[in-house]
């Protein structure tokens, strides 16, 4: 009962080999719980036959997953949630990644995993959709990155001076 | 582009950045753990440095390692350090690490309160944003309490970017610190109308979530949400709002009506499947009568969800699902087994007489294609379930069904041989007309037994041979070539079959033998008969040696018998008659409940002691022998024997008198017998001869397909004939009745069975009780007859229910219960639960009726209502609990009380202008005007105010004080009623009911 609070519980990205590439927990959970869920999700989803339907029941949650190239996107939502909406959320996130990285691939997410989180944080928050407009999400990520870039180049110049 | 610059700058700065770490891990696949432990050592060194850039880099690497499953909780303090950096770049990394690594029990969180507060009030909106995002992941009750005010202020920030995040995080704060909800709610509500759509949708999200947890408190927001629903074009927001309404409607039924229109509009206009699905789900859950049919079609694109939704719709709107049969059948082709199984479930519920053959045909194709025995077996059981459901209700052609069963025997490796066998037996025994055909098919099966015997395992397909042998033996008179079948049954190969099957073979070979003898003895050539005996004598010893006791015993018995017969035959004695006598008589099926229904013979009281029980005092006396002597009967019996003829006659007369006056006595009339004959199942379906243009015997070939074609032709013919008849009928029907028939006549019933089908119901003992489990039967013996509403005050209705026991057993412990609706509730004594039944205060001897009254509380009286209820009772003799379902129909009329009204008061009422008007016309009413008025008065509780020629004004009042005024005029056969009432819905319903009364006469 304590956990029944937000429509989305977690989002996981993992590869076909079952390697976790991204995890986002929308409710506070202990490491043990997290590990258990990750293990269950990867085994369950990877065991699915190709062209199976994208929804599963797991305990009291609906698991909605979709495979994009070598990556599985897996979203755990409350049982009254709309499965199709969850699929749309996954797809929207992929679109956002694609826009940011330009033809995103698994390696982009591995090497820039913090960016993948930043994008997700502008899109979803606390288990709810934060922004439904793609443009606005993109704009705020760009703006934050600009901020970072300026600081970095500042510092770059600074370190040069020191050496 | 921006990214490349960032990457480049990092590369030059540190010895090992995140990218290096990732690359390193990928290069050390063999000794990953070792590599990572050296990395962690490096990170620990880096964290000790004062340079915040180095620390941030280390924390970033830790976040990555945390994802790989390594424990990084030891670095929690360093994470807080990085969070506190004044530079956005590092702050961002710090908060990310915190949101990934912290949970409620991380103690350093306590140290962050001030830092977070500082960030929340930062002039840089992205600092604030990052802090809010992080907080959403690790907010604790303490943080929520301390920061609630700051966040509340941010809800009115100038930047929508911050407002949006603040609104969303407010929800988390409410959850952790509920006290914050009250002061923050007004501001949250304002955000529903924020100029920025992002903030607006965030507010909708939060309020919807809150409302779903506790809908009652949010009813007042319904109008606002309704406005949003009709104006918003954002699908994500719409879905949330629709969900919210789904939670609100149970509390406020009026909302449901309002929602129908916007929901229907959305269903027809939206292209977003998720929104469509949400609408459909809400519609189904609310059971609004909506154009569900068109929805199914669209939703079925998403197979699994479509099937799921359809199974919900099927319960309420079976017809609209049936039209999508093809789509559902297509789903059987799906690769995903869960989809296939869902589709199978649906099929079970949607077969009808019309489509059964087609559906089964498709399923048979799937059986052939199916891979894996589990799924194939599932299909097989489903086919049999579908066909045999409700006592073969949907089968119109049993020859077809038998051929389906025979086809199923060709399945390899099935474990349901027993199921098929029992179906074969059941059909052959109960459908007399099919026996000849069944026997022919079974003979073929026996002949080709070698094809089946590959699978010898228990419950394997060889089980069907059990059925085949029994059918061929029992109904051997239908066999065309009995000798051949006998030969097939006595083949040496039979000895490899399981014992119980061999036993049936042997026994039925004997039956067959009897039949053959009978046929052959009529002939002049007596050698044929002797040859048959010889065949038996030659083959049976094989079975006599069987290790199976049953087989051995039967075989040796029969062998001796045949030997004896042979002896007689050699002496030219005719034996056939006597041999057949061995197997004379027909075995009939017995219903599983039969024993229970055997009536207890008159005069036998099972509860009474056969002998007086030893009383306790007697047991002290120790007279055990006395119990077995005939002392007791002497006390009671002598009286009878001593009375003379006259006395008897006098008593008989007196008894008749008494019986005539005693309402509790059932007279010896055949009525009780009739009740039995009218019970369902013993229907004698009309006999239609079929002329088969295609020869049926294609042994061993699948032929069920042919039946499908034949059936089509037959139905077409029938339809043509029917149309002619119906035209005539329709004219007569015009004045037919229509009340209380909820569903229109089903086209289902129009399909007559193909041929002499007489489904023999399972045998019941004579005088058996009528079957009491068939609630829907209109001839139900225990009928609740009459319901009259007697009205007390504004909210109470007294309902008199007459219970009539039409069965011939004593009913007791009756309990009356009604499923309460939102509007009407049965009043129960204090302390009883809302689902408890009320005890009916009497028992019912057979044939007796009695009345009980029940009080209902009713809230709204403007609509007629049907309440479902159950009556449970105990049949005394069998002492079984039985139950009877019924519906209570509360018409609007029953809420009216006959109230006299003077013409001047009536006129004032009409002038007041408070009343809404409505009118109705009745055509073809053929009765004097005063009869018509009397009818309205009697049936609808009106009183006549004034009458002038063919025009009358009438008045009645509802229990809640609604005035109902009528002006009735007649000219010729047309009656027009103009009516006024302060409640238009009530008026409309009353008028409908009046109309119905007159359409019935």
Reduce the DSSP state of residue B929 to 3 states and report it.
helix
- Flag whether pLDDT at B799 surpasses 60: yes
Is B137–A115 a contact, with Cβ atoms under 8 angstroms apart? no
Contacts of A145 in chain B (CB under 8 A): 2-3, 6
Q: Find the residue in A nearest to B20 (Cα).
A: A111
Out of B22, B161, B274, name the one closest to residue A84 (CB): B274
Say which CATH topology domain B898-1000 has.
Answer: TATA-Binding Protein (3.30.310)
- What global pTM score does this model have? 0.49
Complex ipTM: 0.90
Structure tokens at B683: 């229907």
pLDDT grade for B893, boundaries at 50, 70 and 90: confident
Give yes or no for a contact between A129 and B201, defined as CB atoms under 8 angstroms apart.
yes
Instruction: Indicate if the pLDDT at residue B720 is higher than 70.
Output: no
Mean pLDDT, residues B275-297 taken together: 61
Q: Which pLDDT score, from 0 to 100, does residue B312 have?
A: 66
Q: Where are the beta strands (DSSP E) in B81-238?
A: none
Instruction: Determine the average pLDDT of the residues in B234-261.
Output: 84
User: Do B235 and B279 touch, CB atoms closer than 8 A?
Assistant: no
Q: Select from B520, B510, B517 the least CA-distant residue to B489.
A: B510
**Cβ atoms of B953 and B965 closer than 8 Å:** yes
B949 Rama sector, left if φ>0, alpha if ψ -120 to 50, beta otherwise? left
Q: What is the mean pLDDT of residues B35-59?
A: 91
Domain borders along chain B are 785-890, 898-1000
| Alpha carbon distance A28, B54 (integer Å) | 28
Once rounded to an integer, what is the mean pLDDT over residues B496-507?
88
pLDDT tens per residue across span B68-90: 888 888 999 999 999 999 999 99
Say whether B209 and A51 touch across the interface (CB within 8 A).
no
Beta strands, E only, chain A? 8-15, 20-25, 55-58, 61-68, 71-78, 124-125, 128-129
What distance in Å separates the CA atoms of residue B483 and residue B419, rounded to the nearest whole number?
29
Beta-carbon separation of B239 and A128 below 8 A: no
What are the tens digits of pLDDT across the range B400-412?
888 888 888 877 7
* A residues 38-97 closer than 8 Å to B (CB): 49-53, 55, 80, 82-85, 87-88
Q: How far is B877 from chain A (nearest CA, A)?
A: 48
Show residues of chain B in contact with A139, CB under 8 Å. none
Residues of B in contact with A52 (CB under 8 A): 335-336, 338
- Average pLDDT of chain B is 76
**Whole-number average pLDDT of chain A:** 84
Question: A12 to chain B: nearest residue by CA?
Answer: B67
Cα within 13 Å of Cα(A9), Cβ side: 23
pLDDT for B94-113, tens place per residue? 999 999 998 888 888 888 99
Q: What are phi and psi of B442, to 5 degrees?
A: -65, -35
The token pair that represents B645 in the structure block: 């003829």
Residue pair A123/B133 in contact (Cβ under 8 Å)? The answer is: no
* B345 burial type by CB count under 10 A (0-12 exposed, 13-18 middle, 19+ buried): middle
CA distance A76 to chain B (A): 16
Q: Which residues of A touch B302 (CB under 8 A)?
A: 84
A150 touches chain B (CB under 8 A): no
Read off the pLDDT of residues B724-747 as tens digits, 9 standing for 90 and up. 555 544 444 444 343 334 333 344
Name every chain A residue with its beta carbon within 8 A of the beta carbon of B278.
82, 84-85
Give CA separation, B108 vs B76, B77, B92, B119, B133, in Å. 7, 6, 18, 17, 18
Q: Which two tokens stand for residue A116?
A: 């993948």
Beta bridge partners of A63: A56, A76
Distance CA A96, CA A121 (A): 12
The CATH architecture assigned to A8-160 reads: 2-Layer Sandwich (3.30)
Residue B5 to residue A133, Cβ atoms within 8 A = no
Nearest to B274 among A82, A111, A113 (CB): A82
Write phi, then psi, for B113 (nearest 5 degrees).
Answer: -50, -50
Quickly list H helices, B769-887. none
A29 contact residues in B (CB cutoff 8 A): 103
**What are the helix and strand counts (H, E) for chain B?**
43, 14
Per-residue model confidence (pLDDT) at position B744? 39
Q: What is the pLDDT of residues B810-845, one digit of tens each?
A: 888 888 888 888 788 888 877 777 778 888 888 888
- Would the pLDDT of B796 be above 80? no
CA separation for the pair B539, B796 (Å, rounded): 83
pLDDT above 70 covers a percentage of chain B that reads: 74
- Interface probe for B, chosen from A29, A125, A156 (most Cβ of B below 10 Å), is A125
Q: How confident is the model at residue B697 (pLDDT cuts 50, 70, 90)?
A: very low
pLDDT of residue B666: 45
The pLDDT confidence band at residue B431, using thresholds 50, 70 and 90, is confident
Residue B169: its pLDDT value, please? 93
Note whether B922 and B977 are within 8 A (CB). Answer: yes
What part of A 103-142 touches B (C-beta under 8 Å)? 110-115, 117-118, 121, 125-126, 128-133, 136, 140, 142
Closest Cα of chain B to A141: distance in Å? Answer: 10
What does the pLDDT look like over A54-96, one tens digit per residue? 888 888 888 999 999 899 999 999 888 888 889 999 999 999 9
The radius of gyration computed from the CA coordinates of chain A, to the nearest angstrom, equals 18
* B612 or B547, greater pLDDT: B547
State whether residue A62 is helix, strand or coil: strand
| pLDDT score for B303 | 59
Q: Which range is most confident: A52-56, B525-529, B743-747, B749-753?
A: A52-56
- Hey, is B323 helix, strand or coil? coil
In tens, the pLDDT along A97-111 reads 999 998 899 999 998
Question: What pLDDT shows up at residue B595?
Answer: 72
Residue ranges of domains in chain A: 8-160
Cβ-based contacts under 8 A for chains A and B: 176
Provide, as residue numbers in chain B, all residues whose Cβ is less than 8 Å from the Cβ of A144: 88, 92, 126, 129-130
Q: Which CATH superfamily is domain B785-890 in?
A: Immunoglobulins (2.60.40.10)
Cβ contacts of B104 on chain A, cutoff 8 Å: 28
Question: What local confidence, expressed as pLDDT, does residue B962 receive?
Answer: 86
- Set of chain B residues whose Cβ sits within 8 Å of the Cβ of A4: 213
- Token pair listed for B854: 């029940």
The whole-number pLDDT of residue B627 equals: 41
Distance CA B229, CA B233 (A): 8
**What's the average model confidence in pLDDT over B158-174?**
93
Nearest CA in chain B to A139: B161
Nearest CB partner across the interface for A131, out of B53, B124, B164: B164
Chain A residue numbers touching B132 (CB-CB < 8 A): 125
């Amino acid at each position: 009962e304590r956990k029944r609070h937000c429509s989305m519980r977690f989002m996981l990205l993992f590869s076909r080999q079952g390697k976790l590439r991204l995890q986002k927990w929308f409710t506070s959970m202990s490491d043990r719980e997290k590990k258990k869920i990750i293990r269950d999700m990867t085994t369950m989803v990877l065991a699915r036959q190709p062209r199976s339907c994208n929804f599963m029941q797991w305990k009291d949650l609906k698991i909605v997953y979709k495979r994009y190239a070598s990556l599985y996107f897996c979203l755990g939502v409350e049982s009254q949630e709309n499965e199709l909406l969850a699929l749309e959320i996954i797809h929207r996130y992929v679109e956002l990644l694609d826009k940011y990285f330009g033809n995103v691939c698994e390696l982009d997410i591995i090497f820039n995993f913090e960016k993948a989180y930043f994008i997700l944080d502008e899109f979803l928050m606390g288990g709810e959709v934060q922004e439904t407009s793609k443009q606005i999400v993109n704009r705020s990520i760009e703006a934050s990155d600009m901020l970072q870039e300026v600081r970095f180049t500042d510092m770059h110049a600074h370190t040069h001076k020191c050496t | 582009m921006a990214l490349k610059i960032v990457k480049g700058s990092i590369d030059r700065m540190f010895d090992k950045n995140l990218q290096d770490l990732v690359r390193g891990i990928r290069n050390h696949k063999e000794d990953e753990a070792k590599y990572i432990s050296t990395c962690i050592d490096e990170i620990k060194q880096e964290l000790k440095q004062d340079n915040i850039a180095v620390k941030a880099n280390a924390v970033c690497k830790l976040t990555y390692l945390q994802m790989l499953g390594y424990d990084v909780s030891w670095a929690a303090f360093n994470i807080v350090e990085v969070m506190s950096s004044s530079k956005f770049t590092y702050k961002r990394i710090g908060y990310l690490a915190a949101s990934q690594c912290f949970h409620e029990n991380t103690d350093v969180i306590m140290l962050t309160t001030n830092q977070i507060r500082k960030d929340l009030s930062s002039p840089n909106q992205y600092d604030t944003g990052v802090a809010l995002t992080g907080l959403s992941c690790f907010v604790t009750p303490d943080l929520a309490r301390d920061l609630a005010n700051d966040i509340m202020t941010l809800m009115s920030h100038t930047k929508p970017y911050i407002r949006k995040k603040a609104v969303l995080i407010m929800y988390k704060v409410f959850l952790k610190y509920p006290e914050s909800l009250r002061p923050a709610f007004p501001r949250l509500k304002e955000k529903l109308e924020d100029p920025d759509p992002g903030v607006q949708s965030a507010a909708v999200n939060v309020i919807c979530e809150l409302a779903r947890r506790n809908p009652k408190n949010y009813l007042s927001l319904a109008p606002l949400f309704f406005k949003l629903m009709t104006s918003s074009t954002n699908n994500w927001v719409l879905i949330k709002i629709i969900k919210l309404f789904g939670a609100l409607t149970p509390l406020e039924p009026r909302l449901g009506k309002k929602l129908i229109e916007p929901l229907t509009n959305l269903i027809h206009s939206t292209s977003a499947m998720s929104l469509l699905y949400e609408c459909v789900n809400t519609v189904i859950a609310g059971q609004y009568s909506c154009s569900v049919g068109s929805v199914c079609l669209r939703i079925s694109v998403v197979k699994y969800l479509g099937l799921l939704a359809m199974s919900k719709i099927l319960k309420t709107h079976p017809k609209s699902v049936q039209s999508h049969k093809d789509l559902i059948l297509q789903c059987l082709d799906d690769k995903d087994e869960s989809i296939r199984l869902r589709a199978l479930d649906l099929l079970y519920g949607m077969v009808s007489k019309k489509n059964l053959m087609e559906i089964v045909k498709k399923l048979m194709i799937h059986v052939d294609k199916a891979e894996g025995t589990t799924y194939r077996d599932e299909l097989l059981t489903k086919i049999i379930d579908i066909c045999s459901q409700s006592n073969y209700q949907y089968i119109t052609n049993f020859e077809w069904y038998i051929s389906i069963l025979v086809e199923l025997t060709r399945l390899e490796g099935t474990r349901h041989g027993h199921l098929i066998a029992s179906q074969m037996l059941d059909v052959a025994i109960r459908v007399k007309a099919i026996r000849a055909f069944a026997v022919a098919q079974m003979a073929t099966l026996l002949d080709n037994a070698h094809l089946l015997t590959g699978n010898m395992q228990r419950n394997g397909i060889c089980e069907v041979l059990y059925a085949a042998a029994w059918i061929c033996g029992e109904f051997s008179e239908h066999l065309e070539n009995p000798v051949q079948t006998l030969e097939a049954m006595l083949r040496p190969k039979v000895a490899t079959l399981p014992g119980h099957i061999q036993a049936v073979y042997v026994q039925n070979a004997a039956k067959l033998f009897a039949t053959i003898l009978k046929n052959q003895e009529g002939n002049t050539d007596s050698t044929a008969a002797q040859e048959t005996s010889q065949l038996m004598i030659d083959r049976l010893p094989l079975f006599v040696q069987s290790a199976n006791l049953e087989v051995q015993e039967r075989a040796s018995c029969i062998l001796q018998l045949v030997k004896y017969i042979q002896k007689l035959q050699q002496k030219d004695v005719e034996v056939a008659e006597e041999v057949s006598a061995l197997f004379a008589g027909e075995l009939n099926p017995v219903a599983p409940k039969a024993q229970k229904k055997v009536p207890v013979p008159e005069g036998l009281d099972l509860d009474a002691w056969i002998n007086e029980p030893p009383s306790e005092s007697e047991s002290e006396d120790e007279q055990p022998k006395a119990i077995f002597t005939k002392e007791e009967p002497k006390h009671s019996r002598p009286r009878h024997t001593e009375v003379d003829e006259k006395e008897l006659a006098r008593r008989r007369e007196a008894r008749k008198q008494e019986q005539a006056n005693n309402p509790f006595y059932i007279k010896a009339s055949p009525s009780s017998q009739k009740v039995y004959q009218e019970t369902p199942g013993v229907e004698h379906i009309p006999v239609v001869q079929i002329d088969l243009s295609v020869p049926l015997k294609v042994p061993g070939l699948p032929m069920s397909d042919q039946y499908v074609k034949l059936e089509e032709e037959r139905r077409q013919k029938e339809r043509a004939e029917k149309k002619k008849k119906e035209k005539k009928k329709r004219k007569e029907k015009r004045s037919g009745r229509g009340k209380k028939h909820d569903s229109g006549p089903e086209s289902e019933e129009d399909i007559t069975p193909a041929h002499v089908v007489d489904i023999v119901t399972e045998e019941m003992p004579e005088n058996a009780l009528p079957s009491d489990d068939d609630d829907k039967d209109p001839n139900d013996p225990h009928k609740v007859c009459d319901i009259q509403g007697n009205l007390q005050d504004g909210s109470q209705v007294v309902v008199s229910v007459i219970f009539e026991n039409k069965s011939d057993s004593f009913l007791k412990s009756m309990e009356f219960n009604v499923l309460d609706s939102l509007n009407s509730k049965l009043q129960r004594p204090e302390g009883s639960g809302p689902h408890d039944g009320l005890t009916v205060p009497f028992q019912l001897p057979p044939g007796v009726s009695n009345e009980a009254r029940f009080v209902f509380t009713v809230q709204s009286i403007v609509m007629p209502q049907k309440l479902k209820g159950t009556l449970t009772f105990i049949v005394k003799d069998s002492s079984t609990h039985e139950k009877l379902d019924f519906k209570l129909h509360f018409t609007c009329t029953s809420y009216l009380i006959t109230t006299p009204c003077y013409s001047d008061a009536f006129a004032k009422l009409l002038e007041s202008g408070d009343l809404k008007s409505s009118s109705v016309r009745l055509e073809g009413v053929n009765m004097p005007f005063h009869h018509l008025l009397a009818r309205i008065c009697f049936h609808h509780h009106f009183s006549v105010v004034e009458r002038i020629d063919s025009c009358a004004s009438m008045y009645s009042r509802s229990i809640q004080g609604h005035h109902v005024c009528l002006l009735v005029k007649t000219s010729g056969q047309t009656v027009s009623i103009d009516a006024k009432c302060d409640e238009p819905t009530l008026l409309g319903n009353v008028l409908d009911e009046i109309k119905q009364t007159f359409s019935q006469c």
